[in-house]
Every structure is written in C-alpha cells, then in structure tokens.
Chains A and B, each alone.
Chain A
Amino acid sequence: MDWSNVALGIQTALTPTNLLFCFIGCVLGTAIGVLPGIGPTATIALLLPITFNFEPVSSIIMLAGIYYGAQYGGSTTAILLNLPGETSAAVTAIDGYQMARLGQAGKALATAAIGSFFAGTVATVVLAAFAPPLADAALKFGPSEYFSLVVLGLVASIALASGSMWKALAMIVLGLLLGMVGQDVETGLPRFAFGARELYGGLNFVSLAVGMFGVAEILRNLQTGIHRPSMVGEVKDLRLNRQDLRQIAGPIGRGTLLGSALGILPGGGHVLASFTAYSMEKRLSKHPERFGKGAIEGVAAPESANNAAAQTSFIPLLTLGLPAHPVMALLIGAFIIQGITPGPNVISDEPVLFWGLIASMWVGNLMLVLLNLPLIGVWVKLLSIPYRILFPAIIAFSTIGCYSLGLNTYHVFAIAFFAVLGYVLIRLGCEPAPLLLGFVLGPLLEENFRRAMTISKGDATVLLTRPISLTMLIIAALLLFAAVAPSIRKKREVVFAEDE
C-alpha cells in the first residue's frame, strides 16, 4: 500500500465539504434504512440528478454513505421491530428481535454497531489493499477479456439471486436491449428511437432506476398497504459487559472475514454473507439451540458480515467498472454523470476520488456509530411519518429530479413507462435488479464485442483462445450450470427461503 495515497485520501475525506457530504449521506442512508417502502436503490436513483451540481468526490462520498448508512438503519428496525428495512438485515432480525423481546434491545443494537464498525474498518483496509493490484491486472485486459468479464459479471449476479433462473436471464437480456436504445456509437444511427429525437441519447438511466425501484415499489405498496408494527419495549442500557464482549469477539471476526470475501462476488453477495455467517456461527456454537431465541452471536456475525460485504462490494466497481448489485450500477451512473468512466483507470487517473472515497468510508462508519446509538429514539420516531405523505414526496422528488436532467420531459414520461413495466414484471415474479445491471452494462458489452471482432478479423473463437477470456467464460458456464442443476438449485432455494 502506498502511504502517500492513504494520506491523500484522509486529507480529501476530512475537508469540511466532504465531511458534510459524508454526514448527509450517512443521515439520509440511516433514515431510509429505517423507513420501510424506500430503499437505498431508489434513494440513490432520486439523488443522482442532483449530484450533477456537486464535485465528483463529494457526490460519490455522499451516495456511498447512503448505501452503507442504509445497512445500519436496516438493522435498527430489524432488531426493534422485526422489520428488516434491507434484505441483508433479515438474518439480524431472527435473533435481534428475540433479544429485544427479552429486554436486551440495547445490547443487540450495541452489538450490531460494534460489529458493523469493526467489519467496516477491516473491509476498508481490504479495499485499499486489494483494489489497486486488481485494477493493474485489469488494465492489461483487451476487448475480448472485457467482453467475457462482463458476461461473467452478469451471469454471476443471477447465480446468487433468488427466483427463476430463466426469468432472471431474460431480465438481463431485456436490460441489455433497453441499453441499446439511442444512437449507435460507431455509426451514429439512432436505434429503436422510432423517430423521436429525444430518444437519440438513449433511455435515461435515472428514469429507469426511479421508475422500477421507486415508483413500481409505490404501486406495490398501494396494493397491499404498509403495516407498521409497534415497537417492543424501550431501549435502555446500551452497555455490553465483559462476558458479552468475549461472546461476540469470535463471531465478529469470522463474520468480517467471510463478509469481506463474499462481498466481492457479484449479485446479492451481502445477503449471502449475512446468511452464511449466521449459519456458520450456529454450527460452531456449543449451544446451537440458543439461536433463534436471542443469541447475541446471531446478531454479531451477520451484522459484521453484511457490513464488510457492503464495503468490499465496491471492489469490482472501482477496479473493473463492473457493478456487483443495483446500488453499484447506480454509482456507475453517478460516475458517468460526472464525466468519469468507471474501470481500471479510476485508481490511477482519479486518485483523489478513489482514496478519498475509501477514507470517507471509514469516517462514515465512525459517524454512523456515533449517530446511531445515542439517537436511536429519533430514528425510530421516523417510522411515525405516514406512508401517505411519504410516497407523494417520492413522486415529487423523482419527477423534478428526472426533469432537471437536461430539462427533457421525455425523462419524466419514461418514469411512468418503467414504473408500469417494473410493476408488471415484479408481479410476474421477475426481479428488477438483473435488468438494471444489463441496462448499465449493455453498451460496454456491445462495444467490447465489436472491438474484439474487429481485432480478430471477425473470428469469434478469439473469445475461447485467449486464456483469461476463456477462463472467465468457463467460470460463467459453471456458475450457470450450478444454478440450473437441480440438487444445487434446491439448496439455493432453502437458503433464500430461510432468508425471507
């Protein structure tokens, strides 16, 4: 690790402006993590157009803060209300909520905070240590390697997801195709624009994200209504005694390691991480029967794992320009809005951005601990904001935000289109995340394929004869096979069934 870069990062993260943006991100993130009905994906999508007016470093720091802040907020409601604001917090709810019912809510919250903070710190170091060499390796990639890498990323993202494999694959391809709308990069010919000049620039990424993750979600909630469970007891005594600390040290350490490793995987790495950490602790425990009845290890392990994974999932984004999940796909959008192409060049071309972001993550984790524990009552109060006020506000923010991007009313109409499409597809059992990843990666996939074919003089076997490219395609094929194979498939269903 180059220490001058670390110093540069700390310097960047500690400027008053960036501290403020980090703070705003953490506060917003915690808030939306607490609130059901709006997640980090929709929030970041809503804020993307606004970030256009800020410095690149500040805006990325803020958006990242929203993401990991939401993980903290999600576990708060998981523990206090058995209401995981985030999928990855679902595992925390199992034992955390039981602890709260036994009057140990304070202990559970403190454990979650300490675990998350420790994991966040370690994962930040992992990120700083592993990202630069990985980016160096990726710099040597040619178009065929890049094409295979994107294919691998797309396949891996669904191999870990839940639900029907065919549907997830179809969603990816539909996303890729929607990403082709607009002028062809090489010939300038407008494709699938049907004569509408407004579509020449392509479908708007923000409209798609806001429509599919924000408004479609509102439509679903209007159908069922949102139920607000009441809180169990009061939060008192956040202190942990020596025995508690001894009990959670191991789970936090193991959870952190596991989370750091799994976070790098594309797809729901952090969801998988918290579940795996939980079942590992249960297996290692001398008293597995305590799990599910308020075991403190059952909070410590998944919380550390999911926060570590949240942090390390930045690695594929910052080194390869490959998003591991929808939030990272949105950050790609944020980079592009700022005129930065995400990829292996980011670390060397934008050292201030890269190291500043990493340092800010650690600062942000510290802020979250300080913000969350003493102010827990304030966060829970947020739940009293009625949904019937919240969702019109989401609509207002989405429409203004999308319109402000180039004052193009097509972007506003596109929200409605994607909201309907998203709602219908979600209702039919198709998750929207793969579509978003496909949409973001579509142009990259096509460009690299065309370039690879030009270089190889139209010989498609080049993808199989270059060793790195071949390896990645083989891994992709294995993943796909593993996901479809009946025996593994069953196991996967069990994992996700328990997860829900």
Chain B
Amino acid sequence: MSRLSRDDLLAGGIFLAFGLAFALTSATYDIGSLLRMGPGYFPMVLGIILSAFGVAIILTAVLKAVRGHPATAGLDEGGIPWVRGALVLAAIMLFGFMVAPLGLVPALLVATFLAALAGHGTSPLGAAVISVGLTVLCIVIFVVILQLKLPLFPTGG
C-alpha cells in the first residue's frame, strides 16, 4: 500500500460537500414530480450526482493506494503564497467596499497598491508608483475613452 493522494481526497471531499449542500438546500424547496418539476427537482438530482462523483474520486484514490500505484500529483507544487494571495484578495474586497461610497479614484489607489505589494521584489514605494500609474491608466481607459459613468470621488451624499 502506497501513500494516499491527499489532493484526490481533498478534491473528492470538496465535491462531496458542495453536492450535499446543494442537495440538502434543494430539499427545502418544492421538489414536485417528473411531470410538474418544482424548483428543487433538478438541483436536487445534480447535488446527489455531484456527491456521488466526490465519493468516486475518494474511492479511486483509496483503491490506487491499496494497489500500490503512486499518488497522482496536483498541477502545482510548492507552497501556497499565503501573504501574497491575501494581499491580492484584500485588494479585490477593498475595492468592492470602497468604490460605492468613496468613488473610483480612492478605491483604485488602494486596490492597485495592495495588489502591487504582492509582487515579487516590489517595495512599498514601487507599489505606490505602480498604483498611481495604473489608477491614471484605468481612469483614462474606462472614464475618458469608454465613458463609463462611474463617480471618481466621494459624491458627498
């Protein structure tokens, strides 16, 4: 027996969890019958199928390990970029929180600064330069050229 593929187990687990979540939520809607399908029918069936696929992936991984096949490697090796990843996600989330109340310019400045900070070898000063440059570029493209009607600054309301 060789090592179990952790990737396969996790992937199977994720699909199983999503499948069960969708199937259980569907059960709270009207299921109906084949003739008169309610809103819950189709997602319920799909949820069950997805759970079954999740189980199949887990079982295949276990079978492989029992038979002594080498575990399949994922597409990526190496560590998860926790800090850089968090910066990128924070950039997106903060843009979402800021853009409506504060306008495009502040939201873009903050978002591009945080995202740029995630780059390999970008200093805070470098990130600030990139951020100002990209903000100007975006305003030119989206507001000047494409004429999107987005407020640039706090509207004071």
In the bound complex, do residue A177 and residue B14 qualify as a contact, i.e. CB atoms below 8 Å apart? no
Q: Does A499 contact B (CB under 8 A)?
A: no
Write the B50-66 contact mask toward A (1 if CB under 8 angstroms, else 0): 10011011001000000
Question: Which A residues, 194 to 230, have Cβ-Cβ distances below 8 Å to chain B?
Answer: 215, 218-220, 222-225
Specify the main secondary structure of chain B where it touches its partner: helix
Q: Is B134 an interface residue (CB 8 A)?
A: yes
Taking a contact as CB atoms closer than 8 A, the residue among B96, B116, B119 that contacts A413 in the complex is B96
Indicate if the CB atoms of B99 and A166 lie closer than 8 Å.
Answer: no
Q: Does B43 contact A177, Cβ atoms closer than 8 Å? A: yes
Chain A interface, number of residues (Cβ within 8 angstroms): 65
CB-based contact A395/B111 at 8 Å: yes
A167 vs B56: C-alpha distance in the bound complex, in angstroms? 9
Known: A180-B46, A223-B81. A426 touches B75 (CB 8 A): yes
For the complex, is B125 an interface residue (Cβ under 8 Å from A)? no
Contact of B78 with A180 in the complex, beta carbons under 8 Å: no
**A480 CA / B40 CA spacing, docked (Å):** 27
Contact with A along B95-129 (1 / 0, CB 8 A): 11101100010011001100110111110001000
Cα separation A222 to B114 with both chains bound (whole Å): 14
Task: Please tell me the number of chain B residues within 8 Å of chain A, measured between CB atoms.
Answer: 78
Does A457 have its Cβ within 8 Å of any Cβ on chain B? yes
Indicate if the CB atoms of B49 and A391 lie closer than 8 Å.
no
19 residue pairs of the A-B complex, CB under 8 angstroms, read A166-B56, A177-B22, A180-B22, A187-B38, A215-B88, A219-B81, A219-B88, A388-B130, A391-B119, A392-B116, A393-B137, A396-B112, A398-B92, A399-B95, A403-B99, A412-B99, A413-B92, A423-B85, A446-B42
A222-B88, A392-B115, A392-B131 known; 15 new pairs, CB 8 Å cut-off, are A50-B142, A170-B50, A177-B47, A222-B120, A387-B119, A392-B112, A393-B137, A412-B92, A412-B99, A427-B7, A427-B76, A429-B11, A446-B42, A450-B42, A457-B35
**B residues neighboring A (CB under 8 Å):** 7-8, 10-11, 14-15, 18-19, 22, 25-26, 29-30, 33-40, 42-43, 46-47, 49-50, 53-54, 56-57, 60, 72-76, 78-81, 84-85, 88-89, 91-93, 95-97, 99-100, 104, 107-108, 111-112, 115-116, 118-122, 126, 130-131, 133-135, 137-138, 142, 146-148, 150
